[in-house]
Copies of this chain bind each other. A is one copy, B any other.
Amino acid sequence: MKIVPVEDFDLRREVEYGTPEQNAAAKRIVQDVKQEGDAALLRYTEELDRTKLTASGLRVTEEELKAAYTKVEPSFVEAISAAARNIRAFHEREKRNSWMDLQPDGSILGQIIRPLKRVGVYVPGGKAAYPSSVLMNVIPAQVAGVPEIVMVTPPATGGKEGINPYILVAAAEAGVHEIYRVGGAQAIAALAYGTETIAPVDKICGPGNIYVALAKREVYGAVDIDSIAGPSEIVVLADEQADPEFVAADLLSQAEHDEMASAILVTPSRQLADAVAAEVKRQLESLPRRDIAAASVEGYGAIIVVESLKEGISVVNRLAPEHLELMVQDPMAIVGLIENAGAIFLGAYSSEPVGDYFAGPNHIIPTNGTARFSSPVDVDDFIKKSSMIYYSKEALLKNGEAIMELARGEGLEAHARAIEVRLKREIEGRD
């Protein structure tokens, strides 16, 4: 793992929006499904996913869900169900109530907070078919109160026949029972516009390949979409007392995701830097995903030696990483100075996989420096707000002139008259 100067580092990467050909293909698929419904959906599923289905076979049955349980270890079911409980408990804390403010003049102003009505979760079929991501997308929507959550996933996962049973068990444990075996741009179009079999949704979330991403961009506006995630990142800020074995293991847990993932150590300790570099090399040897992790470490990994923890904090804030571990003597003394980081892990035992799977906070976190202005997925992503304005007659009489002044200042006379017609009526009424 190379030790580099901080100037050489910027997590920002150019976002890939696909080739013109991929764009055109995604656009065509979306248009066809929008216009032809199930017919196009089934045609593309046969053509692209090499699976011949009928409309009535699109939906995963309760029997299949039950059967999936027989294909996974009981310890997995237990673990995912415990994770689901923790994720639910954490997200419950994020819920908000509608509120109102009663004014002395009898007016009432407020904000009505409601769940979205129907949400679609895309679960990819390839190497990124993660049961944990099912929980992380579904549970915040449930906690928000979304009454209808539907999942789509390609008919066969990773070349094997049928849908990955771990995915199905995760869905069932999360409480999702409306699942369709469709993937790709065609599944996104079905969720956005509806077909004879699949009712349209208000929001689509979940990761996917380039066609899925392009289709999501294409349907945005007709429905809401989540943001498109870049490669995963971790920054570990560590001082001389950090355990190099722990630091290296955590860096590698990020690096194994894919060749583009980024694992960075920032430390004022040259000794730790050397020890971690050696540990990374040693631990890499025995990793099943050694090639991927090595490519990530080589291409996007780094150890940045800084002058002081203070400089380290400023480096972290500039990187604005998705995941940040504070492996320092006193993490609480530092956390308040972190301006930009999606998820912050404090101390030696808060290894990133704790948050990836189990602790409760969401693992869908802003990448590519966007933690500067965006946030991990949470309940807020599945609600909508309406302003409520009840203005009393007294309030209008008191404030009507000011409102007309502002409207006329903008040259909007009809706005002023909507107030004036009411004030006049009151004055006439008094005569």
Chain A interfacial positions (CB closer than 8 Å to B): 12, 15, 72-73, 75-76, 78-80, 82-83, 89-90, 93-94, 96, 99, 101, 107-109, 111-112, 114, 116-117, 127, 130-132, 166, 202-203, 221-224, 243, 245-246, 249-250, 252-253, 255-257, 283, 287-289, 293, 331, 335, 338-362, 365, 368, 370-376, 378, 380, 383-393, 395-396, 399, 401-403, 405-407, 409-419, 421-422, 425
| Interchain CA distance A335-B76 in the complex, whole Å | 46
Decide: B413 and A256 in contact? CB cutoff 8 A.
yes
Decide: A410 and B132 in contact? CB cutoff 8 A.
yes
The residue in chain B whose Cβ has the minimal distance to the Cβ of A94 is B111
Decide: B349 and A395 in contact? CB cutoff 8 A.
yes
Main SS at interface, chain A: mixed
Decide: B387 and A355 in contact? CB cutoff 8 A.
yes
B residues less than 8 Å from A422 (CB atoms): 246, 348-349, 351
Taking A221-B368, A386-B342 as contacts, is the C-beta distance between A391 and B354 under 8 angstroms?
A: yes
Decide: B391 and A203 in contact? CB cutoff 8 A.
no
Decide: A101 and B93 in contact? CB cutoff 8 A.
yes
In the A-B complex, list the 4 residue pairs whose CB atoms are closest, starting with the nearest: A361-B387, A375-B385, A79-B402, A224-B373
| Interchain CA distance A386-B93 in the complex, whole Å | 14
B residues less than 8 Å from A349 (CB atoms): 391-393, 395-396, 422
Decide: B354 and A405 in contact? CB cutoff 8 A.
no
Decide: B372 and A376 in contact? CB cutoff 8 A.
no
A to B CB contacts below 8 Å, 8 in the list: A93-B111, A111-B378, A131-B409, A132-B410, A340-B384, A343-B386, A349-B393, A351-B391
The residue in chain B whose Cβ has the minimal distance to the Cβ of A169 is B409
Chain B nearest CB, measured from A54 CB (Å): 31
| Interchain CA distance A62-B96 in the complex, whole Å | 41
B residues less than 8 Å from A356 (CB atoms): 407, 415
Decide: A391 and B350 in contact? CB cutoff 8 A.
yes
| Interchain CA distance A385-B252 in the complex, whole Å | 26
Decide: A79 and B405 in contact? CB cutoff 8 A.
yes
Taking A344-B389, A405-B76 as contacts, is the C-beta distance between A358 and B399 under 8 angstroms?
A: yes
| Interchain CA distance A127-B412 in the complex, whole Å | 11
Chain B nearest CB, measured from A334 CB (Å): 12
**Contact of A350 (CB < 8 Å), options: B114, B342, B385, B389:** B389
B residues less than 8 Å from A353 (CB atoms): 403, 407, 415-416, 418-419
| Interchain CA distance A389-B257 in the complex, whole Å | 21
B residues less than 8 Å from A76 (CB atoms): 405-406, 409
**Given A89-B101, A107-B359, A253-B415, 12 more contacts at CB 8 Å?**
A12-B222, A79-B406, A93-B99, A96-B96, A111-B361, A166-B409, A224-B370, A283-B417, A289-B414, A347-B390, A356-B407, A362-B387
Taking A256-B414, A375-B384, A417-B249 as contacts, is the C-beta distance between A389 and B357 under 8 angstroms?
A: no
Decide: A403 and B357 in contact? CB cutoff 8 A.
yes
Chain B nearest CB, measured from A172 CB (Å): 15
Decide: A412 and B253 in contact? CB cutoff 8 A.
yes
Decide: A410 and B130 in contact? CB cutoff 8 A.
yes
Chain B nearest CB, measured from A365 CB (Å): 7
Chain B nearest CB, measured from A384 CB (Å): 5
B residues less than 8 Å from A354 (CB atoms): 389, 391, 396, 399, 403, 419
Taking A93-B99, A354-B419, A406-B80 as contacts, is the C-beta distance between A372 and B359 under 8 angstroms?
A: no
Chain B nearest CB, measured from A410 CB (Å): 5
Chain B CB count within 10 A is highest, among A72, A343, A389, A391, for A389
Chain B CB count within 10 A is highest, among A107, A349, A365, for A349
**Contact of A413 (CB < 8 Å), options: B73, B75, B94, B289:** B289
B residues less than 8 Å from A221 (CB atoms): 15, 368, 370
Decide: B348 and A413 in contact? CB cutoff 8 A.
no
**Contact of A287 (CB < 8 Å), options: B108, B340, B414:** B414
B residues less than 8 Å from A390 (CB atoms): 331, 345-347, 350
